[in-house]
Structure 1
């Protein structure tokens, strides 16, 4: 079997995603964007059980999938979906002294993510999750 195309082009696809997220958020550097993206993905992941999170991860491009599941504390209790402001503060709490995520971080990542995933597969994955999951990724 040949190497799947999504793996062959994972770096290029990730760079395109970072550019989209940088443009959407107005952040200045790739490092700032990476922290924002990681914070958004972790904030979302904390609101899913393991099965839900893995099903969602399956529709992410390879490098985003890796970021989504990395540093996962499986003993951390599942959190409820909350007001967008509260979840944004959670995003901004990751590496607080080096985090420049704007108040629009969740929306900014959602816009960039939707440009870089298989749209129908993404919507099917969200439809299988709690209603709040779709609202989290709403643009």
Structure 2
């Protein structure tokens, strides 16, 4: 069996996503973008059980899945989904004074992410998650 192309091209695909998300977020570098995307992923996963987090990560390219799962404290209780403004404030507070995530950051990351996932697999994963998950990743 050959190595799946998603793994062969993982670094290239991550770089393409980060460049796309950088442009959506209005950041100058992919280093800034990494932190902003991580803030959005951490905010989202705080509302998931570990099993739900794995189901979501399974619908992402490998290195984005790794971002969702990295440093996850599985002992933390899950939070309920909230309105977009509350979620945005939480994401913006992820790195405290070092955050450069704009208020539109969740929507910006969602637009970029949806261009880098298989749409049907992503929707199937969202359908398995709690109410609010689909709205979190909704785009205009």
**Structure 2 length normalisation: TM-score?**
0.96
Q: Distance in 2 between matches of 1:14 and 1:72?
A: 20
Instruction: Please report how far the alpha carbon of residue 79 of structure 1 lies from its aligned counterpart in structure 2 after TM superposition.
Output: 0.3
Give the secondary-structure state (helix, strand or coil) at the position aligned to 1:131: coil
Give the secondary-structure state (helix, strand or coil) at the position aligned to 2:132: helix
Give the secondary-structure state (helix, strand or coil) at the position aligned to 2:15: helix
The 5 Å alignment of 1:80-95 reads 80-95=80-95
**4+ runs of 1 displaced by more than 3 Å?**
none
Q: Distance in 1 between matches of 2:64 and 2:71?
A: 13
Instruction: Please report how far the alpha carbon of residue 96 of structure 1 lies from its aligned counterpart in structure 2 after TM superposition.
Output: 1.9
Q: Name the residue aligned to 1:138.
A: 138
Give the secondary-structure state (helix, strand or coil) at the position aligned to 1:22: helix
Q: Could you list the per-position Cα deviations for residues 15-36 of structure 1 after superposition, in whole angstroms to 9, with x for gaps in the alignment?
A: 1100110111111111111111
Give the secondary-structure state (helix, strand or coil) at the position aligned to 1:101: coil
Q: Name the residue aligned to 2:60.
A: 60
Of 56-65 and 89-98, more deviation after overlay is shown by: 89-98
Q: What are the ranges of 5 or more consecutive residues in structure 1 without an aligned counterpart?
A: none
When the two chains are superposed, the root-mean-square deviation of aligned CA atoms in Å is 0.9
The 5 Å alignment of 1:1-139 reads 1-139=1-139
Report the number of matched residues. Answer: 139
